[in-house]
Chains A and B, each alone.
Chain A
């Protein structure tokens, strides 16, 4: 068994809805090994997106700890969080979230700018990643000139730009057709086989069934944690 790249211990999140406490996450604990391709599934309101936000340092838990690459990130200050995000985490969103005024190349380049990667190195890496995503002829196209599948591939390239420890994908196939969905899942699976740890939040069983491990959440708790047969 590999050393866990992600360790979650007793993670809880309680929101206040007026005066009523809403327990979005309750004492969630599990480990993820390097190179694992894992999906988190569950109905709406089960806490899976909240959970992703905690790992991605987009929100702070009420209790518990998250360790990425052996470093506890839950206690990171506001000034440390951006560094941890760009060094350890890559995000892929349901709505792609590409910057509309920038080309595919510039969108990938942007993530590396914040990491202060030199310009020439950024360009090389962005071209390399877009080639890997099969977008070598689309690098200078703006998001509006790309299909949904192409946009999501640009977003995956962007997520990988700073060689993160883990990629967090929130419904990455939610906005694409089934053919594109299959292609994106295969792409992510291929990356995982090359050692990239990927955690997907999805509603789609067709996606989760193709991941190595499925964590099912219900009412803010882990209901089941299963390895997928025949993976």
Chain B
């Protein structure tokens, strides 16, 4: 029966082409929007997994509102079950041109803590920072690509300081001593510098943005997180699980918005399949009547008409994936030169797209198929 289905589809090339195009546009949107959502999910996942073993300690007022003194790290470290604790200072690389998705960030950490911060991340070239390094830096892979920098080159870092009613921007060149491998995390957009240099450059005294607490082996991070809060004043902790939940909640909203837009586009494509199939069924009324007179069962007609709709769905899905994949590939390539990547087409997204387009075709073909199958052969044969 498949040969007849295929023949019916290819018989009306322009109409089939337009219908497939409608579905393809929808799936194109699913790939592009879904690819963006997948990328953010993966980036957060990878970023969290790199620091999943650590508890984040913030000033009680909020993430960026208060000041956390570096000495707090020593207090945190004294809590039973904490193996190590160190401060991290985070700031925008260029405060005057913040990127839409956050942009590149300067991360100040004591050089000897980098192995703990970055876990198993390796260097693509050069070396990590060492004790006593001054205005030197290790770059994330995306930053290095964005500015086309290698070990030995220099990168300009800017800091904005508010003085009375105006703000003054300071700029300083840092020597690149190493470039990290691609991690797929926020560290790819990181510019790592020694903590003491960061505090001096940003005029932050001995304050840090947050503290990372490393639990002793076999210590439950959730329990330890609560213990730190009880033992150290004016701080708020986020266990890896809490942080994951918080990020997931904000990602769900983003994912819902992007996927809803894509699904809406795909449903419009589905309506074009339904329209085409209704026209096709109407045109072939007599043909279906004849088939019934020849002994076709209801399920034969259903199979034939829904098969056509499903194949158009699959064809639209494949075209949409190819089109969306190509756009995402070229956009990523372009954006990579600007230091960011926005899309990740995962196998999961491909499977969802193809299943969704097929389902869309089948569901859109359901009503026309039902109409065809329920026709009285007598009336269908008389139809002109």
Contacts and interface: CB of A to CB of B under 8 A. Distances in A.
A214 B128 CA distance: 105
Interface bracket on B: 20 to 34
Contacts of A83: 295, 297
A82 interface: yes
A59 B376 CA distance: 8
A202 B28 CA distance: 58
Contacts of B376: 58-59
A14 interface: no
Interface in A83-109: 83, 85-87, 91, 93, 97, 99, 101-102, 106
A131 B238 CA distance: 84
Nearest to A106: B4
A58 B378 contact: yes
A141 interface: no
Contacts of B298: 78-79, 82
Which of A83, A86, A99, A115 is packed against the most chain B CB atoms within 10 Å? A99
Mostly helix, strand, loop or mixed at chain B's interface?
A: helix
A17 to B, nearest CB: 16
B293 to A, nearest CB: 5
Interface in A189-221: none
Interface string A46-88: 0000000100101100000000000000000011001101110
Contacts of B378: 53, 58-59
A111 interface: yes
A99 B286 CA distance: 9
Interface in B1-35: 1, 4, 7-8, 11
B248 to A, nearest CB: 51
Contact of A101 (B7, B290, B377): B7
Contacts of A30: none
B295 A58 contact: no
B222 interface: no
A31 B381 CA distance: 27
Nearest to B380: A58
A141 to B, nearest CB: 15
A102 B7 contact: yes
Interface of A: 53, 56, 58-59, 78-79, 82-83, 85-87, 91, 93, 97, 99, 101-102, 106, 110-111, 113-115, 158, 162
B253 interface: no
A85 B293 contact: yes
A114 B381 contact: no
B168 interface: no
A192 B377 CA distance: 27
A82 B381 contact: no
B296 interface: yes
26 contacts: A56-B293, A58-B376, A59-B378, A79-B297, A82-B295, A82-B296, A82-B298, A83-B297, A85-B294, A85-B295, A86-B294, A91-B294, A97-B290, A99-B287, A101-B7, A101-B8, A101-B11, A102-B4, A106-B4, A110-B4, A110-B294, A111-B294, A113-B1, A114-B295, A114-B297, A115-B295
Contact of B296 (A56, A102, A114): A114
A89 to B, nearest CB: 8
A197 B1 CA distance: 30
A82 B7 contact: no
A82 B290 contact: no
A70 to B, nearest CB: 19
B344 to A, nearest CB: 44
Contacts of B11: 101
B291 interface: yes
Contacts of B286: 97
